[in-house]
Amino acid sequence: MSEHNSVGNAPGTARPAGASVAPSPWSAPRRVHIHDVAMRDGLQIEPIFVPTEQKIALINALGHTGLSKIEATSFTSPKAIPALRDAEELMMGIERVPGVKYVCLVPNLRGAERAMQCNIDEINLVMSASETHNLANLKMTRDQSFLALSKIIDEAAGQVDVNISISTAFGCPMEGVVAPEEVLRLGDRFAERGAQGITLCDTTGMANPTQVEALCSGLARRWPGLELTLHFHNTRGMGLANVIAGLSAGIDRYDSSLAGLGGCPYAPGATGNICTEDLVHMLDSMNMNTGTDLGLLVSCARQMAKMVGREVPGQVMKAGPWDKRFPPPPDLEQTRERALAR
């Protein structure tokens, strides 16, 4: 493990003896699962094609950081997303680290068939809670999307797990507010249809913590046995605050993107996902168990920045962890003497 794997007690946690502390939903030891989506969600909008061998090397490195899932690519049309045109070669070339689920997004039945030929662990299917966004993104009504994705669930049954990502679950950039009832109704249909997991996605960073806690509280009881994940963007700087709200509501799985890359090519104003290493740093400093190695993640983030050849949003890779220390000024003792002589 690297030197930054454990960040210890965060600043401000010490309290006077005898002080009472109100119970906190995250004060007890808690396992939080991190799913990195940078190799798909991050690279899909980059204007360059990253060579396949570089992608494979980075996925292999990520596999040893302790992540629970890695969304490696998308089996979509090369014409639609040329940056991911090497899906088969990539999936057949990566190392499969035990304990890590390798996930691929698929847009249709043909994509699912291609993905399953590459021995993936999980298929990620996407549709929108917003009718307008679904039509703009997928060229189908929501009912048409549900039927199409149901066929994929049937095809995958007994072979690979299926996760359903519900886009615009916290708001649509074209419609505005999306009624929680619409999101829950859609999730109910997929839970009944046999999906193994549901992800609620804040596709363009419209969510706020109050809204997140209100929508997510009680989901574990509503959809028992399903893996529940939240997917936030940091478009308006509220991504990590929304994670805190999700934790308060009982959700323990989060999508994030190495170096903060990402965005939706079909959603106006969608900037990067919450940053994986920044998320892990926050959770580790809160004494939660992410199972990940922060130092290795930061190394991977720097590798990603070199691959895309531009400035990336991640903060911890620039500033270091909260417990990074700097040497005092060389004249500190002289300054002390002058201060005491006053």
pLDDT tens digits, 262-299: 876 555 555 689 999 999 999 999 999 999 999 999 99
**Is residue 11 in a domain?**
no
pLDDT in tens, 115-170: 999 999 999 999 999 999 999 999 999 999 999 999 999 999 999 999 999 999 99
**Is residue 13 in a domain?**
no
What pLDDT score does 25 carry? Answer: 64
**Is residue 249 in a domain?**
yes
Structural domain span for residue 86:
33-341
How many Cα atoms sit within 13 Å of 36 on the Cβ side?
A: 34
**Is residue 18 in a domain?**
no
Burial class of residue 320, CB neighbours in 10 A (0-12, 13-18, 19+): middle
**Is residue 192 in a domain?**
yes
**C-alpha closest to that of 59 among 101, 107, 111:** 101
pLDDT in tens, 69-119: 999 999 999 999 999 999 999 999 999 999 999 999 999 999 999 999 999
Burial class of residue 98, CB neighbours in 10 A (0-12, 13-18, 19+): exposed
**Is residue 16 in a domain?**
no
Helices of type H across the chain = 52-62, 87-93, 109-116, 131-138, 142-156, 180-193, 209-216, 219-222, 239-248, 276-285, 294-308, 316-319, 332-341
Residue 284 near residue 290, CB atoms below 8 Å? yes
Q: Which residues are marked as active site?
A: 264
C-alpha distances in Å from residue 195, one per residue of 134, 190, 260: 20, 6, 28
Number of domains in the chain: 1
**Is residue 266 in a domain?**
yes
Average pLDDT over residues 236-249: 96
Supply the pTM of this predicted model. 0.91
Percent of the chain at pLDDT > 90 equals 87
State the DSSP code for 233: B
Contacts of 152 (CB under 8 A, 6+ apart): 106, 108, 109, 112, 123, 125, 162
What single string gives the DSSP state of each residue in 273-309? BPBHHHHHHHHHHTT-B----HHHHHHHHHHHHHHHT
Residue 58 near residue 281, CB atoms below 8 Å? no
**Is residue 87 in a domain?**
yes
pLDDT in tens, 26-77: 567 799 999 999 999 999 989 999 999 999 999 999 999 999 999 999 999 9
What pLDDT score does 116 carry? Answer: 97
Question: For the chain, how far is it from start to end, CA to CA, in angstroms?
Answer: 49
The CATH code of the domain that includes 223 is 3.20.20.70
The helix or strand, by DSSP H or E, that contains position 200, with its residue range, turns out to be strand 197-202
